[in-house]
């Protein structure tokens, strides 16, 4: 895919959703870290259902340490791999208290040293909480990047590195959220909604799902298609609170 097409793709995604963000619910950086840690191999929806009953009283790492491992484990038991995640979350809270006075560090190295925090989790926190252009490649971004030809790669790291190189600088900060939302609601895994896709004429996927009756004429302008715009607007929820402080 050439640079002009990549730029057009992001122009359209930006026109359809000017302020994309995570669908995880949180009120501060500490809660975001815990929510992302819990979200591995789980849906944001399932994480939100569990964390709502924790984050209403737990705003800091000390709050979760005070809650204790058994209670915390019980509260997240609807999330996959909950026992391991609970242990990691409590261990992370202990380190935050002992080494960082409860403040979530803003460096990749420090984040990845926390139990249960891998490169993807660190990328989400660096990007969403600290405004750093990082690309957390999940299953949706991996699929969209490969199908469209935006940043094809055999593994998540290859896709991440290509996205960091190929995404136009002005779109780097929000690219990760745009691509996740596009993969979650339009370019879905089994049957992509190509006929409703706002970047269909730019996408290089060879097996598009374009029903003859639904096929729309290809567009080459930088504007978003109404159908796509509506779809993204409906699904992209505003963040509960802008991150300005760290717990
Ligand atoms: S045209 Fe289809 S395959 Fe390409 S990005 Fe859109 S939904 Fe995905």
CATH number of the structural domain spanning residue 215: 1.10.1670.10
Whether 201 is catalytic: no
**In angstroms, rounded to a whole number, what is the distance separating the alpha carbons of residues 127 and 36?**
12
Closest listed residue to residue 11, CA positions, set 234, 162, 225: 225
Above pLDDT 70, what percent of the chain?
A: 85
Average pLDDT over residues 50-64: 94
Residue-wise pLDDT tens digits, 130-142: 999 899 998 999 9
> What is the domain extent for residue 88?
29-128
Domain count, the chain: 2
Strands annotated E in 136-233: none
**In angstroms, rounded to a whole number, what is the distance separating the alpha carbons of residues 49 and 179?**
24
pTM value? Answer: 0.79
User: Does residue 244 lie in a domain region?
Assistant: no
CATH number of the structural domain spanning residue 108: 1.10.340.30
Of 128, 163, 196, the position where a domain reaches its end is 128
Of 128, 150, 182, the position where a domain reaches its end is 128
**In angstroms, rounded to a whole number, what is the distance separating the alpha carbons of residues 122 and 108?**
6
Same domain, 124 and 138: no
User: Does residue 11 lie in a domain region?
Assistant: yes
Q: Is 241 left (phi over 0), alpha (psi -120 to 50) or beta?
A: beta
User: Does residue 121 lie in a domain region?
Assistant: yes
Same domain, 91 and 10: no
**In angstroms, rounded to a whole number, what is the distance separating the alpha carbons of residues 185 and 16?**
13
User: By alpha-carbon position, which residue is closest to atom 4 of ligand 1?
Assistant: 203
For residue 212, what pLDDT is reported?
Answer: 54
Please report the atom of ligand 1 found closest to the CA of residue 203.
4
Whether 120 is catalytic: yes
Average pLDDT over residues 145-171: 94
Q: Please give the distance, rounded to the nearest whole angstrom, from the Cα atom of residue 192 to the centre of ligand 1.
A: 6
- Of 86-100, 146-160, 227-241, least confident by mean pLDDT is 227-241
pLDDT class of 80 with cuts at 50, 70, 90: confident
Residue-wise pLDDT tens digits, 33-52: 999 999 988 889 999 999 99
Ligand 1: residue of 192, 193, 218 to mutate (most ligand atoms within 8 A of CB) is 192
Angle 117-21-231 from CA coordinates, rounded to 5°: 130
User: Does residue 194 lie in a domain region?
Assistant: yes
Token representation of residue 159: 């896709």
Q: Check whether 240 has a pLDDT greater than 90.
A: no
User: Does residue 221 lie in a domain region?
Assistant: yes
DSSP characters over 89-107: HHHHHHHHHHHHTTPPP-S
Of 128, 143, 168, the position where a domain reaches its end is 128
Q: Please give the distance, rounded to the nearest whole angstrom, from the Cα atom of residue 232 to the centre of ligand 1.
A: 14
């Amino acid at each position: 895919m050439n640079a002009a097409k990549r730029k057009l793709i992001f122009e359209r995604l930006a026109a359809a959703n000017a302020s994309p963000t995570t669908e995880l619910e949180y009120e501060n950086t500490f809660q975001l870290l815990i929510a992302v840690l819990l979200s591995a191999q789980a849906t944001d929806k399932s994480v939100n259902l569990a964390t709502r009953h924790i984050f209403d009283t737990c705003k800091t790492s000390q709050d979760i340490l005070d809650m204790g491992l058994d209670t915390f484990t019980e509260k997240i038991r609807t999330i996959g791999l909950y026992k391991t995640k609970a242990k990691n979350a409590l261990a992370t809270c202990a380190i935050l208290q002992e080494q960082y006075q409860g403040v979530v560090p803003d460096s990749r190295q420090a984040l990845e040293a926390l139990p249960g925090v891998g490169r993807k989790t660190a990328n989400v926190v660096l990007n969403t909480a600290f405004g750093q252009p990082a690309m957390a490649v999940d299953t949706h971004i991996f699929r969209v990047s490969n199908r469209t030809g935006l940043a094809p790669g055999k593994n998540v790291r290859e896709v991440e590195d290509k996205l960091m190189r190929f995404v136009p600088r002005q779109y780097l900060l929000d690219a990760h959220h745009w691509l996740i939302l596009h993969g979650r609601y339009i370019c879905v895994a089994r049957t992509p909604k190509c006929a409703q896709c706002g970047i269909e004429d730019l996408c290089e996927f060879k097996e598009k799902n374009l029903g003859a009756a639904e096929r729309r004429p290809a567009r080459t302008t930088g504007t978003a298609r109404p159908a796509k715009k509506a779809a993204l607007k409906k699904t992209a929820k505003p963040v509960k609170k802008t991150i300005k402080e760290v717990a």
